[in-house]
Amino acid sequence: MNDSPLMRLTAKTLLCVAALAMGACGHSTAAESAPGAGSDSTARGTTAEKAAAPRGDVPQGAAILLRCYPDHVKAYRDGKLVMADGSTITYDDGRDKTFIEKLDDADPEDMFAFDYDMTTWTPGYLQDAGRSRCEALFKKMYGSSAAAVQKHLVTVNWFGQKLRFTSVNGAADSLRAVAAELARHPSLKKHLRSSGTFYWRQVRGAKRLSAHSYGMTIDIGVIGGGGGGDYWQWKNLGKGETARITYSNHMPHEVVEIFERHGFIWGGRWYHYDTMHFEFRPEILLNEQLKQTK
């Protein structure tokens, strides 16, 4: 039994994605509850949106984005995501990309190129689902500058720490739900101390923004009773992004499973692992669940 927001979303979404594939999804993408369900309910479900979304030819990834981010992604039309402000983002730029290009220059379609395999605790070679982020999409949702992102930050009480986290897409509420569930497991507390959430910056040595820039990401357990955090570069000094590397983790899987139930992915499931890192990415989880049900 599971009644988390993500699971509720998933049950409905499975139906709708299946219906989309059959060309039968006639109702608004935004009318139902979602982890991203925010306050702007009046703009949802208009006749125009229904008319704008062609039936039957919406790529699964686009359908998932419509379901997970209903406040922002309003329709899919002519190969583009139509955003709440009327702007559009090309879903698939059609380019054949290297591994690094899928990270540095991702379109929305590339975000679904990697596996987030929840059936194993050992990530597959170069499977970095979630490290690929379409910057145009994330800037449009969370803010295109440090100041713009900061406008949406609210305080979340995290085991005595006051964390700043974005309210956009229901991310802060989801983090609060994670805290409430973790609080029922006192033995895990030593792994939970946070070393940071919002921080507008580029990924070191890369051309893309860190997920921490958007305010929907939290690092925990850098120093903890379980042995501290594990980061791929610390254990594989001097190795490049496509090298074969050694995996290491001290984060209890129970912590991971609680985060995942509320829409967060874990950096410890990345081939280029970062076991301190949890990021609000319901679309990655939903995509994986749909794969498992095929």
Residues that bind Zn ion (CB under 5 A): 219, 277
> In the chain, how many H helices and how many E strands?
10, 9
Site of tokens 């803010």: 143
Q: How far apart are CA 193 and CA 161, in angstroms?
A: 8
From the CB of 220, what's the least distance to Zn ion, in Å? 9
Indicate the residue whose CB is closest to Zn ion: 277
Paired tokens of 74:
């309003």
Q: Which is nearer to Zn ion, 49 or 219 (CB)?
A: 219
Closest separation in Å from C-beta 136 to Zn ion: 22
What's the min distance (Å) between Cβ of 197 and Zn ion?
A: 9
Residue with tokens 């983790």: 249
Q: Least distance to Zn ion from the beta carbon of 114, Å?
A: 17
Of 208, 214, 213, which Cα lies nearest the Cα of 69?
214
Query: CB-based burial of residue 142 (10 Å sphere; 0-12 exposed, 13-18 middle, 19+ buried)?
Result: buried
Cβ 84 to Zn ion, closest distance in Å?
27
Q: Which is nearer to Zn ion, 191 or 277 (CB)?
A: 277
Residue number with CB closer to Zn ion (61 or 221): 221
By C-beta, is 173 or 219 nearer to Zn ion? 219
Tell me which residue of 259, 251, 257 sits closest to 175, measured CA to CA.
Answer: 259
